């Protein structure tokens, strides 16, 4: 049967190319919001491919289920953000100063997690991957279910209570805890697939998780507002921003999301996003009061964790020209008159010695003074270091990338702890990351 490629898929493909191109040219809002543009474009594009392949897609044929995935995606990811308050495995840099814009960004970005994962797995299924996969049939006993649930509790508790050693277990804990419940309560269950000797869904999820992980890290690496990892033991070898071994966490994370959403679907009479289950038990409806209370719970939980992210996970905000206190206020006011509206333009317009001398002449400032301003500007933008951390480094007489690169992380952390307090001093992991980035920048120059 011939099908026309759906318009939303074409829009997604065009939007992905356009947003990437305009991001590289630093055109707003694509520069600051690139991650969100990239993911939603990707979701539209592959949903179009899925429909073209099999005549049924999540957006076109299961629209209600697609829309339900978005708030649940925010909720599920915020569970991991809450865990990260203890794990401290990642933090955010160069986020918008406006709370409204920042929180909208959280919602739009986190809302892509489940749609991105599930659309990717359905795309792989649409191309017939692992269609004929078979395995030995495994029938888990009741005791095995209990052991798995206890293991799940251990993984979640230990990762939060002793994160330095057990932090990876957060990415498998919900699998062990919730999958036996899904099986015993008659929901969609991967254990039941194994019982039938059909591992196809597991393979699809593992591969889909790895693909999405690569895309998460690729698009995050190029984004202006982004996250940075400070994972114990694995800070040196990285792919994009992610420690290389960290990519092993994405496949089980996909299974964890699938299992968790199947658990949520138990309370919707097993209706879910998949083609085989979105029309299950249509005669049964969730009570209106239950739906309203659930929506209110997700909303207030989101507000609570958004506030916690702002307080504990956001490390730096976008530095505007008006925030550059190290530049004379009168000169800052005159910079737009010479075509410099932000700090990025200031650095782009002063790459060569000739450009710096010309700008100094136009602004009527000594070359030495302009060079000091540029050093401080480069430092504040280094790996999203930001105003707060710049002031801390100034307090220990570090005013340039060159000075930072010459430091040793452990003595610098000890000295900053002595000058400030333990609570005010950046973590050793952050300081190591800054110094490593400063040295890389100097080598690149």
54-100, pLDDT tens digit by residue?
999 999 999 999 999 999 999 999 999 999 999 999 999 999 999 99
Give whole-number Cα distances, 37 to 31, 41, 46, 96, 103, in Å.
10, 6, 14, 16, 16
Cα-flanking dihedrals φ and ψ of residue 95, to 5°? Answer: -80, 160
CA-CA distance, 332 to 135, in Å (whole number)? 67
- The answer to whether 60 touches 259, Cβ cutoff 8 Å, is no
Mean pLDDT of the chain: 95
CA-CA distance, 304 to 323, in Å (whole number)? 28
243, β-bridge pairs:
238
Residues 6+ positions from 420 with CB-CB distance below 8 Å:
392, 395
239, β-bridge pairs:
242
- The answer to whether 382 touches 434, Cβ cutoff 8 Å, is yes
Please tell me the predicted confidence (pLDDT) of residue 252: 98
Please tell me the predicted confidence (pLDDT) of residue 297: 97
Please tell me the predicted confidence (pLDDT) of residue 220: 96
* Residue found by looking up tokens 């797995």 in the block: 121
* Domain chopping of the chain, boundaries: 56-313, 321-444
242, β-bridge pairs:
239
On the question of pLDDT at 161 being above 60, the answer is yes
Ramachandran bin of 397, using left for φ above 0, alpha for ψ from -120 to 50, beta for the remaining angles:
left
pLDDT band (50, 70, 90) for residue 417:
very high
Please tell me the predicted confidence (pLDDT) of residue 57: 97
On the question of pLDDT at 233 being above 90, the answer is no
| Tens digits of residue pLDDT in 307-317 | 999 999 999 99
Q: What is the mean pLDDT of residues 138-159?
A: 95
The proportion of the chain whose per-residue pLDDT surpasses 70, expressed as a percent, equals 99
Please tell me the predicted confidence (pLDDT) of residue 2: 67
Please tell me the predicted confidence (pLDDT) of residue 408: 96
Strand runs (DSSP E) across 171-277, as ranges? 226-229, 238-239, 242-243
- DSSP at 248: G
| Tens digits of residue pLDDT in 268-325 | 999 999 999 999 999 999 999 999 999 999 999 999 999 999 999 999 999 999 999 9
Q: Which long-range contacts (CB under 8 A, 24 or more apart) does 213-221 make?
A: 213/242, 213/247, 213/249, 213/250, 213/251, 213/253, 214/247, 214/250, 215/38, 215/39, 215/42, 215/116, 216/250, 217/241, 217/242, 217/247, 219/34, 219/35, 219/38, 219/39, 220/35
Q: What is the mean pLDDT of residues 27-41?
A: 94
Residues 6+ positions from 356 with CB-CB distance below 8 Å:
350, 367, 370, 371, 374
Please tell me the predicted confidence (pLDDT) of residue 1: 57
On the question of pLDDT at 236 being above 80, the answer is no
CA-CA distance, 16 to 45, in Å (whole number)? 8
| Tens digits of residue pLDDT in 257-273 | 999 999 999 999 999 99
Q: Lowest-pLDDT range, 39-48, 66-75, 87-96, 133-142? A: 133-142
pLDDT band (50, 70, 90) for residue 356:
very high
């Amino acid at each position: 049967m011939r099908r026309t490629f759906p318009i939303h898929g074409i829009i997604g493909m065009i939007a992905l190319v356009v947003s990437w191109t305009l991001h590289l040219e630093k055109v707003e809002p694509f520069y600051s919001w690139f991650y969100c543009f990239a993911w939603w474009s990707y979701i539209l594009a592959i949903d179009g491919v899925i429909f073209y392949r099999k005549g049924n897609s999540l957006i076109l044929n299961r629209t209600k289920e697609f829309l339900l995935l978005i708030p649940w995606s925010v909720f599920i990811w915020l569970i991991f953000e809450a865990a990260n308050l203890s794990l401290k495995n990642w933090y955010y840099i160069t986020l918008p100063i406006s709370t409204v814009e920042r929180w909208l960004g959280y919602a739009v970005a986190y809302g892509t997690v489940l749609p991105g994962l599930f659309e990717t797995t359905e795309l792989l299924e649409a191309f017939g991957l692992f269609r004929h996969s078979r395995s030995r049939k495994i029938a888990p006993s009741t005791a095995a279910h209990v052991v798995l649930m206890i293991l799940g509790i251990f993984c979640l508790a230990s990762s939060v209570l002793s994160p330095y050693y057990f932090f990876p277990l957060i990415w498998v804990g919900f699998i062990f805890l919730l999958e036996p419940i899904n099986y015993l309560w008659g929901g969609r269950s991967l254990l039941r697939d194994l019982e039938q000797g059909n591992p196809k869904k597991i393979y699809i999820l593992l591969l889909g998780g790895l693909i999405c992980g690569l895309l998460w890290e690729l698009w995050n690496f190029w984004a202006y507002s982004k996250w940075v990892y400070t994972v114990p033991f694995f800070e040196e070898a990285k792919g994009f921003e992610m420690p290389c071994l960290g990519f092993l966490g994405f496949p089980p994370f996909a299974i964890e999301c699938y299992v968790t959403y199947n658990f949520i679907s138990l309370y919707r009479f097993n209706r879910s996003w998949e083609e085989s289950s979105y029309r299950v038990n249509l005669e049964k409806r969730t009570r209106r009061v239950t739906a309203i209370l659930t929506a209110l719970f997700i909303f207030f939980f989101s507000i609570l964790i958004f506030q916690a992210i702002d307080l504990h996970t956001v490390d730096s905000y976008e530095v505007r020209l008006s925030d550059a206190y190290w530049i004379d206020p009168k000169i800052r006011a005159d910079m737009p008159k010479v075509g410099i509206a932000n700090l990025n333009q200031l650095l782009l317009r002063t790459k060569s010695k000739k450009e710096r001398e010309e700008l100094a002449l136009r602004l009527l400032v000594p070359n030495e003074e302009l060079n000091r301003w540029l050093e401080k500007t480069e430092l504040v933008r280094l790996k999203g270091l930001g105003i707060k951390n710049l002031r801390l480094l100034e307090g220990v007489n570090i005013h340039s990338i060159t000075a930072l690169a010459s430091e040793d992380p452990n003595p610098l952390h000890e000295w900053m702890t002595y000058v400030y307090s333990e609570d005010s001093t950046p973590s050793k992991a952050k300081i190591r990351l800054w110094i490593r980035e400063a040295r890389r920048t100097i080598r690149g120059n």
